[in-house]
Structure 1
Amino acid sequence: MNDPTTNEPAPAGGYVGVAPFQSDGALHGFVISGRWPNSTKEWAQLLALAVRVASVPGLLATTTVFGAREDLPEDPQPDMVGLVVAEGPVLGERAVAPGRFARRLPPALLMLHPPSETRPSLPECVGAASGCVLLPGVPHLGLEHRAAWVEAESDGTVTSMVSRVGVDPIADPDTAVLAMLLAA
């Protein structure tokens, strides 16, 4: 099977397809097809695409949490494996409540910051969006937390990308917020 985005042979295990979707003119999530990302690197690549989408002016109004869901809609598209859906803003009246994901641990949580709420890493990157993905581990079983951070400009240029294994979620503001949403 060929990767539909490049028409080149898909890597072993198939491709990870990502398509953004919106509701009422705002970014509402991403459809995941083919297969889920299976490494920190692949989640970082998915985050890079998500941040590039979030950098489009007006598409994301405020910092928003997105959760990976393996549930499929009633009539899924062929090859669809799940969704990454906007769960709500970080602050405000509709903010995602701490412990929201404690009962059902998602495979990944993302936080996307629109350009208006991103302090760019370089002065010439004004208008960049940013984001973080937390891949929760089970430390007492030896499975470490993993995370990645990305910054991208509205023209699609990725200006910063970092990924780590063995993350202490409290050491970074984004991972701390995401970890709080996972805690009971």
Structure 2
Amino acid sequence: MTERAAPSVEVSPFQADGILSGFLVSGRWPASTVEWARFLVLAVRVAAVPGMLPTTTVFSVREERPEQSVPGTVGLILAEGPVVGENAVQPGRFASTQPPGLLVLHPPTEIRPSLPELDEVATGCVLLPGLPHLGLDHRAAWVEADQHGNVSSMVSRAGVDPQTDADTAVLAMFLAA
């Protein structure tokens, strides 16, 4: 008896007016923190393309499918808005219906590379909120990459205290406030 392979996670970025608006997820959702980190690598590489992401932006994981989706679509990861500024995401926006994950992507114009040999990088963080009082830890991943696809940093962790990192603290604030 042969073991059947699980469907792969397929991700397609989409844009509106040349600006990254989100990602269509097909096949299945990432099943582990490592798989979410792999997704984040793709998202950060897209954000590193000059002009694709004008400012630091929050994205939410949504398990609903668009009305006219392609077969196999499992959901969307949608741009919710910038972290600061006129149309900024407000604290507590996700408090009533908590998404399974939140991301923040920083474009190259707002980040200093961690390695001197890199010119411009984008970074990102995904926070997968848990229920620590029930033994389900918060999980997170962080990625830094340039427009050529070079990944200079990739970290994933379970048991994350959101207050120990600026990105996870901001994402946790959007969930809890």
1:82 pairs with 2:75? yes
The one of 30, 50, 54 equivalent to 2:47 is 54
SS of the aligned residue for 1:167 comes to coil
1:147 pairs with 2:147? no
2:122 and 2:68 mapped to 1: Cα distance? 33
Q: Deviations over 1:9-60 (max 9, x none)?
A: xx83210000000001100000000000010000000000000000000000
The one of 101, 104, 110 equivalent to 2:97 is 104
1:166 pairs with 2:159? yes
1:111 and 1:159 mapped to 2: Cα distance? 18
The one of 11, 15, 18 equivalent to 2:11 is 18
SS of the aligned residue for 2:105 comes to strand
Aligned-pair CA distance for 1:178: 0.1
1:63 pairs with 2:53? no
Provide the residue aligned with 1:113 in structure 2: 106
SS of the aligned residue for 1:37 comes to coil
2:48 and 2:127 mapped to 1: Cα distance? 20
Aligned-pair CA distance for 1:74: 1.2
Aligned-pair CA distance for 1:62: 0.2
Instruction: Provide the aligned C-alpha RMSD in A.
Output: 0.9
Aligned-pair CA distance for 1:75: 1.6
Aligned length: 174
Unaligned runs of 5+ in 2: none
Q: Work out the percentage of aligned pairs sharing the same amino acid.
A: 67
- Runs in 1 of length 4+ with deviation above 4 angstroms? none
The one of 31, 51, 59 equivalent to 1:38 is 31
1:58 and 1:50 mapped to 2: Cα distance? 14
Query: Residue type of the partner of 1:22?
Result: Q
Q: TM-score, normalised by structure 1?
A: 0.93
Aligned-pair CA distance for 1:119: 1.7
1:16 and 1:129 mapped to 2: Cα distance? 22
SS of the aligned residue for 2:156 comes to strand
Of stretches 172-181 and 121-130 in structure 1, the one that deviates more from structure 2 is 121-130
2:17 and 2:97 mapped to 1: Cα distance? 28
